[in-house]
A and B are shown apart, each in its own frame.
Chain A
Amino acid sequence: MSIKDDINRLRQGWQNFWFAPASPVPMALFRIGLGLVVIQCLVVHLLADWHLYYGDYAIVPIEDMISKYWRGDPYFDLMLLLPPGEEWRWYFFWMTAVFAGMMTIGLFTRVSAVLTFLCLMSLQHHFLINQNAGDNYLRIATMCVALSNAGDALSLDSLIKCIRQDWRITGFLAPLSSPWAQRLLQVQICLAYYHTWVAKMAGETWWNKGTAVYFATRYDDVMRFPLPFILDNYYCIQILTWGTLVVEFALWSLIWFRATRYWVLLAGLGLHLGIEYCMNLPMFEWLFMLTYFLFIYPEDLERFWSGVVAFVHKHIARPSKLMFDGSCIVCVRTVGLIHHLDIFKLVNLIDFRTATTSELGLEPADRDRLESEILLATPSGKILGGFQAFRYMTGRLPLLLALFPLLYLPIVAQLGELVYRTFAANRFKILGGRCPQGVCQTATSS
């Protein structure tokens, strides 16, 4: 092995780590959690004393913040561009909450995440002396989400996209892409654990005496629930203190190895849940625990979800069969949308144009109905068509569950039936795209 080979191998490893295509699902899960924490930060923690921080009579006016803290450093603050008057800062604050909400649900994800990051950074820099480590992490994590493809999965953006595209060409799964922003956040959390571990190792109460947890759990300004009796003695305190050092060491080192990763994450969860139980330090612990999603291998995430789906199918609800016209692009897109909403896989899709008679399991009369409407075979064998099939599905798709009772209202039900029948009967006239060979012109051009 020459040095050149080693360098090549190193370069290849670096490129694989940052750029090898990966599923966006872990980052999408993190995006949802992060968005909720940003909203919590704004609506719970900042709103409670908003006037004290951002009002016209703020305890530290921005002029003092600039002269006493910024001191010529290049702090980014969009709020400086606002016209005078606290009402503008009030609008800015609520716009940030709206952007954070959009980022959470994945609507215009990239733009909303960038705007959330810029607004959050402005709010934090405008009033810096109430910020804790959780705020720092919140800002950095939002930056990474803004740089990522977190909107490619579990988002409204992906639903909108699936309405526009033909899954027979693109497939159902979220597009794979370079996960470099996810990797950056993984590296970031390891940097945080590294820093805190190195700093703790220099402390006598951490390393030599092992009593740091005793003092930390006695801060009456952050105290939450009582320490379990069994842990409240000298030896247990020492075990907890040294255990913290071991876990924090593992969280920046052993976490990178597949064999140890999940054990390390489990220990990290224990550490953060323990702190969360004992100490009232909002946001910080949850942000770190949420980041653990990024360390779960996508295939394991998929396996876990398959287990959940199997459990749901066995104990809660059995799947139905949805039969659709595969030569109709409207039907294809509609069932694509239904599939994306169907998180528990309660609707199996069957293209009646290519399916065998036994796969369909329909009476001849029902088979004829397929030319004019989608049909749903419920687990009990009942055949529902058109609007009724849609209504049945809303009761099985968690994301549409809110619609379910509304669709049973007398006028809504009749109107829905009418709209469905009119649209289904004229779908080719309205949207075109019939193509008996299997792929519609509309589909390929999309």
Chain B
Amino acid sequence: MPDQSPSLKPMTVQEALEHAPRRTPLDKTWMAVLSVFFAFYIADCLIWFMDECPFKEAVVPYTHPPMIAFGWTQYWSLFCPEVRNVIYHETAVVTFQDGSTRLYEFPRFDLMSEREHFKREKLRKMFLDNMPWPGYEQFLPVFGRYIARANDNPSSRPVQVTFVHNICNIPEPTLDMSKWTYRARLPHHTVKDVKFVFQVRKPDLDESPSEEPALIP
């Protein structure tokens, strides 16, 4: 509760306009507890930011769980230490029992309208920033299963989903402006790189009800 003024003498309008009450100050025990918390928080973050080293390996098992539990997990190494020098999009080739194939193209943010892109940023994060890169490869079978189910056809069921990374290098910048690559004239993603092949098993499709929604609404 805010502290009241020491005297109960009423203030005039002018005095009230300039007066701010004070909340009861924290007692010393609270200050000490909070100070320990601040010190721990800062140390916890700084340890987390460190490059891999024996000290970090030894300490992180103790400092990281509270970070996860209280929601302080954080990564700020965006565009670093090196910016990527490639542009890309993702596709998946679904192969059916009868040998036919179907190409599934993950959302193309390079072709989307500004508004749609803004709205669906989380899809970009999932399919472009995370799915094709190390650290998220454990999810590829899960994505493969989803795509297989979404493309299931009782007459010829999917047997394989092949994830393809369509990529190209951004040309190096030059001092010669005639060879300069402007943003509007970027090369196409012409290099194909197979990232993962998911073999569809029967149980992967069995749980799939017919009313399952398509991958992209």
Q: Which residues of A contact B (CB under 8 A)?
A: 14-15, 18-19, 21, 23, 44-46, 48-49, 51-53, 55, 57, 59-61, 64, 68-69, 73-76, 117, 121, 124, 129-133, 136-137, 139-140, 143, 149, 166-178, 180, 184, 187-188, 191-196, 198-200, 202-206, 211-212, 214-224, 226-227, 232-234, 237, 280-282, 349-351, 354, 438-439, 443-444
How many Å lie between the Cα of A317 and that of B20 in the bound state?
27
A282 to chain B, nearest CB (A): 5
| Pairwise interchain contact B76-A178, C-beta atoms closer than 8 A | no
Say yes or no: is B87 at the interface (Cβ < 8 Å to chain A): yes
B54 at the binding interface (Cβ < 8 Å)? no
State which of A149, A167, A203 has its C-beta within 8 Å of the C-beta of B16: A167
| Cβ–Cβ < 8 Å partners of B216 in chain A | 49, 52
Q: How far is the CA of A324 from the CA of B78 in the complex (A)?
A: 58
User: Which of B89, B122, B142 is A53 in contact with, Cβ under 8 Å?
Assistant: B122
Residues A200 and B119 in contact, CB atoms below 8 Å apart: no
Instruction: Report the separation of the CA atoms of residues A57 and B56 in the bound assembly, to the nearest whole angstrom.
Output: 39
Query: What are 21 A-B interface contacts by the 8 Å CB criterion?
Result: A51-B213, A52-B216, A55-B213, A74-B68, A124-B71, A130-B123, A132-B129, A133-B76, A136-B74, A136-B75, A171-B21, A176-B23, A178-B25, A187-B42, A196-B80, A212-B82, A215-B85, A217-B183, A232-B180, A232-B183, A282-B118
Residues of chain B contacted by A171 (CB below 8 angstroms): 5, 11, 15-21
| Chain B positions within 8 Å of A203 at CB level | 80-83
Q: CA–CA, A52 to B182, complex, Å?
A: 36
User: How many Å lie between the Cα of A202 and that of B209 in the bound state?
Assistant: 50
Please name the 5 residue pairs, one residue from A and one from B, whose CB atoms are nearest each other, closest first.
A171-B19, A173-B20, A203-B81, A220-B110, A168-B10
**Contact between B177 and A174, CB atoms less than 8 A apart:** no
In the bound assembly, the distance between CA atoms of A23 and B21 in angstroms comes to 10
| Complex contacts, B26 vs chain A, CB 8 Å | 19, 178
B21 and A175 contact, CB distance less than 8 A = yes
Which A residues touch B209, using CB under 8 A? 57
Shortest B136–chain A CB gap in Å is 6
Query: Does B99 lie at the interface of the complex (its beta carbon under 8 Å from any beta carbon of A)?
Result: no
Alpha-carbon distance between A168 and B14 when the two chains are bound, in angstroms:
10
> Whole-angstrom distance between the alpha carbons of A354 and B14 in the complex?
12
Are A184 and B80 also in contact (CB < 8 A) when A169-B4, A220-B186 are?
A: no
The answer to whether A68 touches B118 (Cβ under 8 A) is no
Interface residues on B, range: 35 or more
B175 close to chain A: CB less than 8 A: yes
B10 near A226: Cβ-Cβ < 8 Å:
no
- Decide if B42 touches A191 in the complex (CB within 8 Å): yes
Which chain B residues numbered 56 to 82 have a C-beta less than 8 Å away from chain A? 64-65, 68-82
Given the interface pairs A59-B143, A191-B42, the reply to whether A280 lies near B5 with Cβ below 8 Å is no
What CA separation (Å) do A76 and B38 show in the bound complex?
Answer: 21
Instruction: Check A198/B180 contact, CB under 8 A, given A140-B71, A280-B118, A444-B8.
Output: no
Q: Which residues of A contact B122 (CB under 8 A)?
A: 45-46, 48-49, 53, 130
B38 contacts which of A73, A180, A194, A281 (Cβ < 8 Å)?
A180
* Chain A residues, CB < 8 A from B87: 218-221
Q: Is B134's beta carbon under 8 Å from chain A? A: no
The residue from A131, A196, A439 contacting B125, defined by CB atoms under 8 A apart: A131
Q: Are B119 and A169 in contact (CB under 8 A)?
A: no
Measured between beta carbons, the chain B residues less than 8 angstroms from A219 are 84, 87
Q: Identify the closest chain A residue to B82 (Cβ).
A: A203
* B80 CB contact (under 8 Å) in A21, A173, A206: A206
Residue among B22, B110, B130 making CB contact with A221, cutoff 8 Å? B110
Given A73-B65, A176-B23, A57 and B181 touching (CB < 8 A)? Answer: no
- Known contacts A15-B31, A133-B76, A184-B41: A175-B22 contact under CB 8 Å: yes
B88 / chain A contacts, CB cutoff of 8 Å: 221
15 new A-B contacts, CB < 8 A, other than A59-B146, A233-B177, are: A51-B217, A52-B217, A61-B142, A73-B65, A73-B68, A168-B16, A169-B10, A171-B18, A173-B20, A176-B23, A177-B23, A187-B38, A221-B109, A232-B182, A234-B175
Given A19-B25, A49-B217, A216-B83, are A74 and B183 also a contact pair (CB < 8 Å)?
no
Residue B170 at the chain A interface, CB threshold 8 Å: yes
For residue A46, which residues in chain B have a CB less than 8 angstroms away from its CB? 122
From B2, B85, B110, A223 is in contact (CB under 8 Å) with: B110
> Which B126-177 residues have C-beta < 8 A from chain A?
126, 128-131, 136, 138-139, 142-143, 146, 170, 172-175, 177
- Contact between chains at B13 and A349 (CB < 8 Å): yes
> Is the C-beta of B194 less than 8 angstroms from some C-beta in chain A?
no
Alpha-carbon distance A172/B20, docked complex (angstroms): 7
B26 closest partner in A (C-beta): A178
Question: Once the chains bind, are B136 and A129 in contact (CB under 8 Å)?
Answer: yes
- A170-B2 in contact (CB<8A): yes
Q: Chain A's nearest CB lies how many Å from the CB of B188?
A: 10
Contact present for B49 and A129 (CB under 8 Å): no
Which chain B residues lie closer than 8 Å to A191 at the CB level? 42, 45-46, 49, 76
